[in-house]
Amino acid sequence: MATALAQTHDVLLGGRDMERLARLAAELPGSHPWPVELTDAEALAAATSGVASLDVLVHSAGMVQIGPLADTTCDAWRRMLDLNVVAVAELTRLLLPALRAAHGHVVLINSGQGLAPSPRWGSYAASKFALRAFADVLRAEEPSLRVTSVFPGRTATDMQRRVQAAVGGDYRPEQYLAPETVARTVLNIIATPADGHPTEVVLRPVAR
């Protein structure tokens, strides 16, 4: 996502690993490391305090945990919702003045589980349904912004590798969406002319 956006934007590279962020910034002219722990409200407030104008905010961080509801503990629910929903809401809230100043675009990377939940995906699916609701309300409350929810199918990432290990499946990246395809879709969304508002985009891998 950062590589795709760096073609047309100055990019703030958000994440926990400063060394990794610095390496990526060195590869992408116009990008800058933006180290922050998304679930730390004070850290978020400090990191966003110097951002005066922001034309695009992409929410792509997230976690997944698979298991039956009977085995999903209170702590597991809280961790899931804290990163997948609460951190998104707080980061957006803090950046609203900067987004309003630029008539910006908020893109939320959701999931197919945010449309049709599956057994053993309960806490993750619930977080993604909440994320969709957040996007819908944000769109209604902030008419100067464009807000798009993207619902990719299974994508060839490390998270998908862990998912397949958890469910006893085989990780076959050729059967999934390439991360670059999802990133290109986001670029196309951002490039939509100003008279159009793409509210939801569903993306699925081609059946093979």
Instruction: Tell which residue, 144, 39, 61, 155, has the closest CA to residue 108.
Output: 61
Q: Please state the φ and ψ torsions of residue 42, each to the nearest 5 degrees.
A: -65, -40
Q: Is 171 one of the annotated active-site residues of the chain?
A: no
The pairing of strands 105-109 and 146-152 is parallel
Distances (CA, A) of 166 to 27, 61, 158, 202, 205: 33, 20, 12, 25, 21
Q: Three-state SS for 108?
A: strand
Rounded to whole angstroms, the maximal C-alpha distance in the chain is 48
Three state DSSP letters for 114-133: HCCCCCCCHHHHHHHHHHHH
Catalytic site residue from 62, 87, 104, 124? 124
Q: What is the C-alpha to C-alpha distance for residues 62 and 132, in angstroms, rounded to an integer?
A: 14
Residue type, 134: F
For the annotated catalytic residues, the residue numbers are 124
